[in-house]
A = this chain, B = another copy of it.
Amino acid sequence: MNRFEKSTTAQQIRLERRLPSYWRVTFDHPPLNIFGPETIPQLNEIIMALETDERVKVVVFDSAVEGFFLMHYNFFAPLEDTTSLPPGPTGLQALPDMLVRLSRAPVVSIVSIRGRATGVGSELALASDMRFASSEKAILSQWEVGAALVPGGGPMARLPRLIGRGRALEVLLGADDVRGDLAERYGYVNRSLPDSKLDAFVDALAMRIASFDKQAIADTKRLVDVASLPSDAEISLEWDAFIASLNRPASQHRIKALMERGFHRPGDVEDRLGYHVGQLGG
């Protein structure tokens, strides 16, 4: 957590190679770990390394920012900063491209969720292979419908396959905060663990997988992919719907109202986003 490390760069994501076979990726963009267009190339560089490194077998994503795992998109950034990014290798736009490549990478991805995983944070978690959450401190949410937006990073394709249509619709259309224990009951995360045990559990699982054979891991995962991954076409529809929703007066009105309440700043709106999107009125 040494803040001096980041000093002069705008680097928001730290990569630590704990072993050649076991990497840690830590979101460290205080105070809120908001995800913006400038975050995309940083994350993309890491995902490219995961795709091509011959020794890495497992990667754990976590956060160095108290209270926030990874958050929604940056609504202060001009939309053009995002839409002008070139499409990625899959032909999808840059953000969904990265997420589908993470799902298919020949590496096991594990998210360790402490604090809020909202918007892109939830979408990265859903695109990863496994999700573990702090019972006391994890909050997952897809808040977008509460702001008259359509989520854009794949949750309509991924959540119903993971937790069933009914609970997926509740998460997406209720747009409310989901705490660790409910997330486990719903299957939104693999397990929620007492906060004091989360790090040791995830580290032991990662070390275990890092001791296994890379080809057996990659071949087995690839066969699970056949049975469980949505097509890129499905993911593409979501991104288009998200971009279209950004341009509608209803979302601009609601995001402005959230801004007036304190959105994008440390405080109650970001801490209890589920509550606040329910207060914007009809």
Task: Show the binding face of A for B, using Cβ within 8 Å.
Answer: 21, 108, 129-131, 144-146, 148-151, 156-170, 172-176, 184-185, 187, 189-190, 205, 208-213, 215-217, 219-221, 223-224, 226-230, 234, 237-238, 241, 245, 248, 250-251, 254, 278, 280-282
Contacts and interface: CB of A to CB of B under 8 A. Distances in A.
24 contacts: A21-B282, A108-B173, A129-B173, A130-B170, A145-B217, A150-B216, A156-B224, A157-B226, A160-B224, A164-B228, A165-B229, A169-B221, A170-B190, A172-B220, A174-B208, A184-B185, A208-B278, A210-B282, A211-B282, A213-B254, A219-B245, A223-B234, A223-B238, A226-B234
Contacts of A160: 224, 227-228
Contact of A169 (B108, B149, B185, B187): B108
A121 B80 CA distance: 50
Q: Is the interface of A mostly helix, strand, loop or mixed?
A: helix
A208 B251 contact: no
Contacts of A241: 219-220, 223
A256 B111 CA distance: 34
B254 A156 contact: no
Contacts of A158: 227
A190 B168 CA distance: 9
A228 B163 CA distance: 11
Contact of A216 (B149, B174, B217): B149
A130 B169 contact: yes
